[in-house]
Structure 1
Amino acid sequence: MSLPVSIAGAPFLGDPAFRQVIAAVEIEGDRARVVGGAVRNTLIGVPVDDVDIATTARPEVVAARATAAGLKAVPTGIAHGTVTVVSSGRPFEVTTLRTDLETNGRHAVVAFTRDWAGDAGRRDFTMNAIYTDADGSLHDPVGGIADALAGRVRFIGNPIERIEEDYLRILRFFRFHARYGRGKLDAVGLDAAVSLQEGIGRLSRERIGAEMRKLVMAMGAMPALAVMDETGILARILPGGGALARLSTAIDLANRHDSPFGLEARLAALAVDRHALADALRLSGRESKQIAAIVLWSQEFAARMDEMTVRLAVIRTGNDVASAALLLAAAERGRDSATDLVPLARTFRPPESPVTAARLIAEGYAPGPALGAELRRREAAWIAAGCPAEFKDDL
């Protein structure tokens, strides 16, 4: 089978904002080519998010040319050759071709070059080192086109050398396979990742967390996580490893019921200890709070899985948390015990509660524990009655 030599007609190539950036940079003998995700995704029919540009022009030259063309230039990573050029309100990362002079497993000291093959050789995976000119002509110095089309995530050159340049590539190897791979993980790459897994300990938790968020949301997350668990890599990231069976069952149930099961829900299902998870992945306060709510309500559902508890969960936390907690509780039981309740958790929209503290105070209750207890009792009675708009509790 012959491989494609052009992606002419790709929507991003005709984008006026992109054309402005190329026109500004590609002058005086310099070249500029799109590299990485936009090219890979176009080849395999996946939506393009970001358009990254590689160029022979030095970063200070890129910034000057962009400014002269009326574009905004932001020196987001100028020491490593990257200038973000904003065109029509959209950012394009423009990075000078580079070679690595020194690496320490986390960061690299780079030198700028005009050698396209040298720039390709320092990248991680072959499918990420495919370039295209503005007219769509493809340049494939490391065989990335064939690998992308075959769903083969393969390190460029020696996998051990690539990983030793940045140990985050261990996690990226699993994440890219979960997102773009087909079949088994590349054996040579897997052997290298397993043998060098101690290097994960040299990475910041912020970088690890960013990769893990993307990994757990990928279509092929479960097989990739299973290999990470079997090889001990997952335990280096999450204390106690992960509750993979629970996560797998919860995802299956969510798919069966056409119910969302987002990032916080997946992390809650995966977590053996949510506090350790928050620390290991440097979760934000919002993420930690959401996960705590899902875990709490899953415990409530484990004790009592009925319509009243579902309505109460929705009222207290909203539909997303309620449905995620319900699915997690069902997954804990190892069976689909939430069949009739998932639609209620997703769609229940309660009217404004007629049970309020102001109403109780008007009836003579003084602020304090007694008022709180009566408020909870009446709210439970209102929910048990089906949350009617008009409610009178005579008890």
Structure 2
Amino acid sequence: MKTAPSLKHEAWLTDGALRRVFDALEAEGGEARVAGGAVRNALLGEPVNDIDIATTLAPLRIMQAGDKARLGVHPTGIDHGTITLVVGGKPFEVTTLRVDVETFGRKARVAFTDDWQADALRRDFTMNALYCSRNGEIYDPTKGYADILRKRVKFVGRPAERIEEDALRILRFFRFHARYGAGAPDRDGLAACVRHKAKVKGLSAERIRQELFKLLEAKRAAPTIKLMASRNVLKVLFTPASDLNPLARMAKIDQALGLEPDALLRLVLMAKDALALRERLRLTNTEMRRLEAIAHHTGATPRLRERERRVVLYHLGREAWRDTVRLAWARSKDPAASQKWKDLLAFADQWPIPRFPLTGKDLLAHGLKPGPALGRELDRLEDWWIASDFVADKESLLRKLELGEST
């Protein structure tokens, strides 16, 4: 079996702030290693962002170590063994090695240990159960590096036991497969997720949303979502769209144009009724406004003449224009290289949206009384202004008002 390479030349591992944390923990007599995601990403050639540290020191001794080294000390998760140490504004979560005594969903009663293998065996996937010393040496008690080489997401130990500890791991299995996997998913892991899919119903909306949105932003989101739909996993969350091919087309369009994946737009393409998911996924007010704007205008097409484009863009605004065009393009049969769709999408940045020159105050100043009639008159003048292709100025509009010609 191939041994994991040293990470000693990784820039993040030689960072001065991280070195100070290592120094502080070792001065207190503890052993410390970078754990989980940072090691996984480094071995996969992915960007390393957050750096979490595991240590043999108990939480109170972590705090003592931080105080002695004059680091910022914050007991962010002390009941579960996690202390955040801050160096020059840079936070590091430092967690005591743990074993689960009792698990119940997201929460667990833990006991602290100095056994690295025991700590690894409580983690979800083998690729997340790797550790790295300050010198770059990899400790791999669950053979996770072999799974990294195969790009295979594999549960630590028995998949059913890991899922029993926390049903969110079902969604995490698919999310990690979409983000880091290649080829078919691990057979045993997939079978366990499908068999226990009903457990997802008991998860909080916030946790489901977080995993689902991360999955939708992953590079292999489309085939993974199709897999979930084919195994009726999606149906546990909501009714999926009958045709998921537009989701795959959107992924190709995003890649071709260098666009960031938009989880909300992809949700529209994968769910039969995204607007109905407000409570199920704890959608924000801003997200609901985007969905409502999309729902009220579905006619974006390259066949629109330029004058028609201006009218639609004026009513929608730039964000809703881009949203509707991206969705319509994905639902069309046109390729990701289609120039006519590219031009339609770019129109939002080419035409400066004008502001209607009149306000209610202008009409009040010309003798109209407050009330519904004033609002109707303002709307009629705005319609006339739009029909003029937005060229009429304030004075022209007021003359229309004075002459009663706005209808």
Fold match by TM threshold 0.5: yes
Matches within 5 A, 1:1-395: 2-240=2-240, 244-259=244-259, 262-297=262-297, 299=298, 301=300, 305=304, 307-308=306-307, 310-312=309-311, 314-316=313-315, 318-335=317-334, 338-383=341-386, 386-388=389-391, 390=393, 392=396
Cα-to-partner distance string for 1:183-209 (whole Å, 9 max, x where unaligned):
111111101111111111221111111
8 A Cα contact 1:294 1:324, kept in partner: yes
Shift of 1:349: 2.9
Alignment deviations for residues 347-393 of structure 1 (CA, whole Å, 9 cap, x no partner): 43324442433444444444444443443444445445554595745
Contact 1:36–1:127 (Cα < 8 Å) also in 2: yes
- By how many angstroms is 1:335 displaced? 4.6
Query: Partner of 2:278: helix, strand, or coil?
Result: helix
Report deviation, 1:294. 2.6
Determine if contact 1:301/1:309 at 8 Å carries over to the other structure.
no
Unpaired runs of 5+ in structure 1? none
CA–CA separation in structure 2 for the residues paired with 1:261 and 1:242: 22
Number of equivalences: 393
Q: Tell whether the 8 Å contact from 1:121 to 1:156 is kept in structure 2 after alignment.
A: yes
Distance (Å, rounded) in 1 between the aligned partners of 2:102 and 2:184: 32
Residues 315 and 90 of structure 1: CA distance in aligned 2, closer, same or farther (over 3 Å): farther
**How far has the Cα of 1:270 moved from its partner?**
2.8
What secondary structure is seen at the aligned counterpart in 2 of 1:26?
A: helix
Check 1:296–1:75 CA distance in 2 against 1; reply closer, same or farther (3 A cut): farther
- Going from structure 1 to structure 2, the CA distance change for 1:260 and 1:18 (only over 3 Å counts) comes to closer
8 Å contact kept, 1:350–1:387: no
Letter in 1 for 2:147: D
Distance 2:387 2:150 in 1: 55
Deviation at 1:333, TM superposition (A): 4.9
SS at match of 1:54: strand
Counterpart of 1:354, as a letter, is P
Q: Distance in 1 between matches of 2:376 and 2:261?
A: 34
> Structure 1 length normalisation: TM-score?
0.89
Residues in 2 aligned to 1:357 and 1:318: alpha-carbon distance in whole angstroms: 21
Instruction: Output the TM-score relative to the length of structure 2.
Output: 0.87
Identity %: 43
**How far off its partner does 1:45 sit?**
1.4
* Larger mean Cα displacement after TM superposition, 228-237 or 147-156: 147-156
Query: Which is further off, 250-259 or 145-154?
Result: 250-259
> Does structure 2 retain, via aligned residues, the 8 Å contact 1:55–1:95?
yes
Distance verdict in 2 for CA 1:352–1:219, change over 3 Å: same
CA–CA distance in 2 between the matches of 1:151 and 1:192?
Answer: 19
Q: Relative to structure 1, is the Cα distance of residues 261 and 125 closer, same or farther in structure 2, using a 3 angstrom cutoff?
A: closer
Q: Are the equivalent residues in 2 in contact too, given 1:228–1:234 (CA < 8 A)?
A: yes
Stretches of structure 2 lacking an aligned partner (at least 5 in a row): none
Rounded to whole Å, the distance in 2 between the matches of 1:294 and 1:206 is 24
RMSD of the alignment, in Å?
A: 2.7
Please give the alpha-carbon distance, in whole angstroms, between the structure 2 residues aligned to 1:253 and 1:368: 48
Equivalent pair of 2:275/2:291 in contact (CA under 8 Å)? no
Question: How far apart, in 2, do the equivalents of 1:375 and 1:306 lie?
Answer: 27
SS at match of 1:182: coil
SS of residue matched to 2:280: helix
Deviation at 1:217, TM superposition (A): 0.8
Cα offsets for 1:84-143 (capped at 9, x unmatched): 112211211111101111123432221111000111111011111111011111111111
CA distance in 1, matches of 2:71, 2:217: 35
How far residue 145 of structure 1 moved from its aligned partner, in angstroms, is 1.6
My pick for the range that moved more, 156-165 or 346-355, is 346-355
CA contact (8 A) 2:385 2:392 kept: no
Question: Does structure 1 conserve the Cα–Cα contact (< 8 Å) formed by 2:28 and 2:61?
Answer: no
Contact 2:246–2:331 (Cα < 8 Å) also in 1:
yes
